[in-house]
Copies of this chain bind each other. A is one copy, B any other.
Amino acid sequence: MTHTAPHYPIGDLAKRTGTKVQTIRYYESIGLLPEPARTSGNQRIYGQDQLDRLAFIKHARDFGFPLDAIRELLEMTDRPAASCAEADAICRRHLTEVRRRIGRLQALEGELKRMVETCSHGTVADCRVISVLSDHEKCCAEEHEPVETMPYKATA
């Protein structure tokens, strides 16, 4: 039993990585994090390895990588001598996706901007916003694909 190896309870891990406790347990449940050691009272204790692994996951999530891609990237970190072509490919694919999204959102931004700018602030019957949404003809884009879902929280 060494006294030098650090060991953290789940709350410390959460604070140090900026993830939520539930999220860490969720990652464990889907096999993204290995099952950690437990105290005699059944509480999880983590070492440096786990902390690093979780930090990697968190960072990759902040970059917007989906968990499947992160899983692949983590497998690669376990084989440091392997070629990084796959990691490169994952990253490029992600970049392409990000650019596609930016394009869609920018087209959307233009249309929304026009909508609010031409709104005459009168009644619903005359409202530009409503009329554009009601009538496809009034819409500027010839053909526009649906943008990804965006559930934004209420700004009360």
Residues of A within 8 A of B (CB): 52, 55-56, 59-64, 66, 73, 76-77, 79-85, 87-88, 90-95, 97-99, 101-102, 105-106, 108-109, 111-113, 115-116, 119, 121-127, 129-130, 133-134, 136, 139, 144-152, 155
What residue of chain B has the Cβ atom nearest to residue A102's Cβ? B105
Tell me if A95 and B81 are in contact (CB < 8 A). Answer: no
Contact of B88 with A121 in the complex, beta carbons under 8 Å: yes
Q: Is the CB of B150 within 8 A of A64?
A: yes
A70 closest partner in B (C-beta): B133
Given A87-B119, A101-B150, A102-B102, 17 further pairs, Cβ under 8 A: A55-B134, A56-B134, A62-B145, A80-B124, A81-B123, A82-B123, A83-B121, A84-B127, A84-B129, A85-B121, A87-B127, A87-B129, A87-B130, A88-B119, A91-B115, A93-B155, A102-B109
Query: CB < 8 Å: which of B81, B92, B144, B150 contacts A124?
Result: B81
The 8 tightest CB contacts between A and B, nearest first, are A84-B127, A80-B125, A64-B147, A95-B112, A62-B146, A87-B129, A97-B152, A80-B124
